[in-house]
């Protein structure tokens, strides 16, 4: 299969993307039946981040960052680069120079199933970067790959244009075709959680609040 770059992708409507600005990754996952969450190892380099944007997908050879360099210039402002680096952590495929280039292009964030370096520079520049590991070992640029083909990242399928919702908890992938229809479900879930918080603060037990009173009995748990 030859390397390929798709220049145009379908993205969620801007008004749909905007409505996810205050929706946590955990809520998005809840309404997706706890699915579409990248593996726990994919974490932000810097805390206190919240990223929302359409995925521009990148697939490359282990330890190679040729395609991710090119992807920076195929992405639009507000996009999120999602890079399948095959989970390899002993060679970085991202660093400070690429992060700086992203900041100049207005890219919203970078998600990498692999390692990065230049962490101090990444934190200073301020573009949210999520990755599996950190190492000073640098990449090579001797292989091809693809841009805007279906990939996996952190154990989750990601299609070009899928909506990425990422924060300190991790990364949730919202399929583009479901992004708009899930918004009212997210709002309902957020309201429900706010109600739970209010009730716990008022002294109610989580056991009674969540209807868990008889669950142990149903499971045959004995008290001794």
CA distance 140 to 35: 34
The CATH number given to 9-176 is 3.50.30.40
- What are the residue ranges spanned by the domains of the chain? 9-176, 186-218
Q: Which residue has the higher pLDDT, 214 or 15?
A: 15
Say whether pLDDT at 49 is over 70: yes
Q: What is the pTM of this model?
A: 0.93
Q: Average pLDDT over the chain, rounded to whole?
A: 95
Cα separation of 92 and 94, whole Å? Answer: 6
Over residues 59-83, the pLDDT tens digits come to 999 999 999 999 999 999 999 999 9
What lies within 8 Å, CB to CB, of 207 at 6+ separation is: 213
Q: According to the model, what pLDDT value does residue 92 have?
A: 97
Res 101: pLDDT: 98
| Segment among 50-54, 85-89, 138-142, 207-211 with least mean pLDDT | 207-211
């Amino acid at each position: 299969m030859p390397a390929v770059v798709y220049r145009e992708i379908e993205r969620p409507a801007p008004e749909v993307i905007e409505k996810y600005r205050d929706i946590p990754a955990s809520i998005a996952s809840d309404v997706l039946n706890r699915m579409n969450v990248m593996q726990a190892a994919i974490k932000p380099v810097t805390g206190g981040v919240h990223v929302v944007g359409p995925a521009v997908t990148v697939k490359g050879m282990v330890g190679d960052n040729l395609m991710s360099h090119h992807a920076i210039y195929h992405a639009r402002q507000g996009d999120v680069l999602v890079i399948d680096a095959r989970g390899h952590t002993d060679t970085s495929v991202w660093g400070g120079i690429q992060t700086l280039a992203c900041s100049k292009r207005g890219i919203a964030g970078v998600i990498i199933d692999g390692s990065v370096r230049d962490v101090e520079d990444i934190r200073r520049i301020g573009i949210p970067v999520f990755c599996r590991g950190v190492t000073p070992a640098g990449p090579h640029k001797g292989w091809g790959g693809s841009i805007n083909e279906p990939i996996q990242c952190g154990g989750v399928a990601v299609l070009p244009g899928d909506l990425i919702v990422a924060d300190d908890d991790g990364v949730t992938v919202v399929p583009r075709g479901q992004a708009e229809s899930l918004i009212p479900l997210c709002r309902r879930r957020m309201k429900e959680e706010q109600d739970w918080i209010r009730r716990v603060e008022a002294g109610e037990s989580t056991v009674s609040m969540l209807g868990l009173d008889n669950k142990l009995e149903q499971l045959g748990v004995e008290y001794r």
